[in-house]
Structure 1
């Protein structure tokens, strides 16, 4: 039962709900259908499609804007995709492509019966209400997605809601990293240490070199946040502070819609999120993939 009466309850609810709607949102970029939609436009490689589709709500965004708002990708990785992607197709075509990819993935993974059912329609309305209350001030990716028109079909309404909620949370998390004085590579080193992960996969996924990773670890060590690739008590405290502040901001839409609607949203989305998490093979090789809370 999700409660949102106390600060701790709101934080727990925000994190639980993130673990659910993130599995719906990631279909935007990490499915065969999303890759095929971007490739059909002429993208060269999956990362060009990813950066262009995610940045498309901004219009034909500069590399600098994407480096800033996506935060933990190496600038060189972004520059290999942008602005070349905009010569392949304009932002409006990428927006159409990402919606097409999501539609195809949802039809394959959930099936027509689920998509046409009354529970999905109810979920879509609950998601839209929550997303409409999601903070966008100081949250550029959330704001850019919130400015787009809502799709008509319920399964795509729910996707659009999940995307706004996800980007609002992500924007808020970046704000906490900036406030904590963690630069993009340092934030990844902290994440890896907190999850007892090797940096190799993380570096490859986000584009940082071994030397850049080591330099970031050295800076964290100098600050007393890291020791022998493990977080110190001070590092644990800073990581917890960032996560708590992120959850505080992400709880805002659920407080707005109320406890009953929040609980109903979680109840309806849980089996769908489990199905998507189990069936979305394309996302399982992401070292930052969010594992569904059972």
Structure 2
């Protein structure tokens, strides 16, 4: 078990460590991929047209040529038909191996552009070494997408290794988040509604709910209302807020064991090395 006795007071529990490192400091390094041109351009160079075919090809590539139903179950929160519109047709364009490599190169190129002079510092190399230890030490049981990623070779180049570690830990946390959602009986579209409400947004304004028709979205919100999670004004009830909090708490708890292999001084070092990178990413508008 992680010894936090000498760690920063802000990271006094394993769950706090998991949230700070995984959700706040490592995930932004991974998410640059979804907000940059370079990964999309690399996938489009293979022949993928538009955003989503390349997305589904690249993210599911570690699994191999599995059916759309498997990807839909693992990714969890896509609207009916979204996955099947791209899988298996995406494998007529390029192999999983080609999609994976193109995406990786594009993501690292985007991260290098955003980080600028920070990309080749000793801090990146230190962070990569510590993060990959956590990424390769996390429990695999029940985490299928994470396990598939962990079967891939670990890159040597420091920035690429750091991105790979961030991706592993992001999907590890995401697999645990699906477990938390399932435990509360919240399906993928309901999860989007709860996220929108947590951010103070109307569900109709939340982009990931765009594939739903107004009638479909109304049905999702009405289902949450009938269960006492959303009120007549479309906001959280106390029970809804408690449900959301339980989901997040369990997600944090399930993510925490990944960092048990790091000593308190290593957690502090990793935090210190990642903070300037995340600040640069935020300054760049990501």
If the length of structure 1 is used for normalisation, what is the TM-score? 0.89
Residue 82 (structure 1) aligned to one of 80, 87, 93: 87
Would you say the 8 A contact 2:11–2:17 is kept in 1?
Answer: no
Q: Deviations over 1:29-65 (max 9, x none)?
A: 3311001001101111111111111111101232111
Counterpart for residue 279 of structure 1: 284
Contact 1:194/1:230 (<8 A) preserved: no
- SS of residue matched to 2:44: helix
| CA 135–2 in structure 1, closer or farther in 2 if over 3 Å, else same | farther
| Correspondence list, 1:129-148, <5 A | 129-148=133-152
Q: Deviations over 1:136-187 (max 9, x none)?
A: 2101111111111111101011111101100000000001101100111111
Cα deviations by residue, 1:187-221 (Å, 9 ceiling, x for unpaired): 11111112211222425556222222111111111
Alpha-carbon deviation of 1:85?
0.9
Q: List gaps (5 residues or longer) in structure 1.
A: 282-294
**Superposition pairs of residues 1-294 of structure 1, within 5 angstroms:** 2-3=8-9, 9-17=13-21, 18-111=23-116, 113-202=117-206, 204=208, 207-227=211-231, 228-279=233-284
Show CA shifts across 1:197-247 (max 9, x none): 122242555622222211111111111111021111111111111100000
Contiguous gaps of at least 5 residues in structure 2: 1-6
Count the aligned residue pairs: 278
- Cα distance in structure 2, aligned partners of 1:137 and 1:74: 27
Q: CA RMSD in A?
A: 1.8
Q: Distance in 1 between matches of 2:66 and 2:189?
A: 22
User: For 1:147 and 1:61, how far apart are their aligned partners in 2?
Assistant: 16
Q: Cα–Cα, structure 1 residues 165 and 190, in superposed 2: closer, same or farther, change >3 Å?
A: same
CA contact (8 A) 1:134 1:252 kept: yes
Aligned residue for 1:197, secondary structure, equals coil
Q: What is the SS of the residue equivalent to 2:81? A: helix
Q: Residues 92-132 of structure 1: CA distance to partner in whole angstroms, max 9, x if unpaired? A: 00011011102211221223x43332221111101111111
Change in 2 beyond 3 A, CA 1:4/1:194:
closer
